[in-house]
Structure 1
């Protein structure tokens, strides 16, 4: 016992120290972190006929620390796992069997299988997966090469908690069973591939996609907040954001066409409503609505947004209407409203480029 007790004490101390940040429990009136420190300090003791006060203190701390460690271990099995990331646990497999490394067709099939669902928005997870791919990629800065989809740093705080990323935990959690079924694929590759597959499955163009993203082990490479577009801003802001990534004015308008999908939510962006009457179909309808409707400020308690004067069922953001107020942007808006094929072609090129920003060592196209 004399030789084993110090080792037990250190074990109990270690477990208690691990438990301290994760649990608010106290043991015997003492916080767990305090107990862990005391246990580490009280390891030396003597085995004599009658326990000294120091020994009695050590014994109390020993069993208290082991108890705290047990409580922490128990909590690992009973606490709810995080929604996404390496500690999310293993959810049910998407296909019932694991694929071989490099079988991206199998991953594509699993992504396609989860897109349509009753009860979520307009019946499809496709738009939120496109947004996940967009936001994990759109942090890139061409000046220093920071940001982008390589690393999948949205798995960590504070990036996962940015206001611009509100609601994307839904998309990350949705893809966890697919990650479990194909553990060889990185989160960066999975998230961007999901966006590409969603666009294709909703009727959009084929998005050229290449694997090669490597997940970061932690959040040390997270870039400063504020790099993603702000929907309340105008043409200058759009150029600042997109030119930073290396896009030109045509790319800005083409990528804005992704607003043909999905809708805004007051609990995420603060805005509300869809851009089109077909929010789960990828088309040039966004541009048609933009040029053919009369847009007026919506009278409500939320932030400034616009609604179509006729039906009041559709909405546009200030950044959307900025595409009409700028001469260069407007030219492409009208082109895409008339020619869906041209829009699809330019969007596929721009979106593929977006997904690859900041990703080194990609295989040949």
Structure 2
């Protein structure tokens, strides 16, 4: 299976279906999925698991093929980068699964934890395969490769274009803010983006477009900037109207993110 290239939603959806229909999970993957579901039932830590996987994969640079979904985030100094504040707790939770399924690598497990978290919260089924190569300590990435929530669309494009994404995928991936909340001690912001932050749906986009904004909900500069340009705002509107379209596009974009720097 190769990463889904930038293209139409129909092509992306077909690729997702094809992978889902032909990929048979290994015994180790099945065991890890079961343990992750048990963890999520006992402790609603799904949002931070999504964040862990995103921040690990989101360091990818297509130009020199560095970073990506390789679990380099578990090493210093990367885990202590400002954007990763609070993620040590997530790596410790993943370690409890790793100890029980040692044959799965860290890079695979970080991404699997995110995939299972999205599905557990009612989101789309995201194709997944094992086989990522774990980074070694010398492969940690420099600080500054992850999005800054205080910045606008030019910054978002710089970050996501570096990884190989386009505007449609940037907006789709932003929809994962339906899960979780920001914490002042980690990001300087506080609050949830939606009324049900443990449910993965298209509420994030609906709240962005709400004529009467709920003052209790969070809207970061990096959220509001999605409305600044037609090539992004049109997808906000479409995803707010059509949750299934959002789910299809999100699954394709998440799959691509989860494999950055791998399987080449």
1:189 aligns with 2:108: yes
Name 2:49's counterpart in structure 1: 129
1:215 Cα deviation (Å)? 1.8
TM-score (norm 2): 0.88
Q: Deviations over 1:130-152 (max 9, x none)?
A: 001100100001111000012x1
8 Å CA contact retained: 1:116, 1:125: no
Give yes or no for the alignment of 1:116 onto 2:41: yes
Matches within 5 A, 1:79-90: none
Distance (whole Å) between structure 2 residues aligned to residue 335 and residue 216 of structure 1 = 38
* Bigger helix fraction: 2
CA-based RMSD of the aligned residues comes to: 1.2
Alpha-carbon distance in structure 2 between the residues aligned to 1:116 and 1:234: 36
Alpha-carbon distance in structure 1 between the residues aligned to 2:230 and 2:41: 39
1:268 to 175, 183, 186: 186
Instruction: Please name the residue that 1:58 is paired with.
Output: none
SS in 2 for 1:316: coil
Does 2:187 correspond to 1:284? no
Unaligned runs of 5+ in 2: 1-25
The offset of 1:193, in angstroms, is 0.2
Matched, 1:256 2:181: no
Q: Residue 342 of structure 1 is aligned with which of 237, 245, 251?
A: 245
Query: Deviation per CA, 1:75-123, whole angstroms, max 9, x where unpaired?
Result: xxxxxxxxxxxxxxxxxxxxxxxxxx852111101001111346xxxxx
1:166 partnered with 2:85: yes
Aligned length: 239
Task: Identify the residue that residue 106 of structure 1 maps to in structure 2.
Answer: 31
Q: Which protein has the larger Cα radius of gyration, Structure 1 or Structure 2? A: 1
Alignment of 1:273-352 (within 5 A): 273-294=191-212, 308=213, 311-352=214-255
Name the CA distance, whole Å, in 2 between partners of 1:262 and 1:116.
16
Mapped to 1, the partners of 2:42 and 2:215 lie a distance apart of 27
Q: Displacement, 1:209?
A: 1.0
**1:275-329: CA deviation from partner (whole Å, max 9, x where unpaired):** 00010000000000100144xxxxxxxxxxxxx3xx4211100010000111111
Q: Which residue of 133, 155, 161 maps to 1:243?
A: 161
Aligned equivalents of 1:358, 1:139: Cα separation in 2: 10
Q: Which residue of 41, 45, 68 corresponds with 1:148?
A: 68
Q: SS of the residue aligned with 1:116? A: helix
Structure 1 runs not aligned, ≥5 long: 1-100, 119-123, 295-307
In the alignment, the residues of structure 1 paired with residue 211 and residue 259 of structure 2 have an alpha-carbon distance, to the nearest angstrom, of 35
Does residue 134 of structure 2 align to residue 215 of structure 1? yes
Answering whether residue 147 of structure 2 is matched by residue 229 of structure 1, we say yes
1:200 match = 119
Alignment pair present for 1:357 and 2:241: no
Counterpart for residue 98 of structure 1:
none
Counterparts of 2:197 and 2:74, CA distance in 1 = 27
Tell me which stretches of 4 or more aligned residues in structure 1 moved more than 2 Å: none
Query: Residue deviations 1:170-197, cap 9 Å, x none?
Result: 1111111210100111010000000000
**Cα distance in structure 2, aligned partners of 1:216 and 1:249:** 29
CA distance in 1, matches of 2:230, 2:80: 36
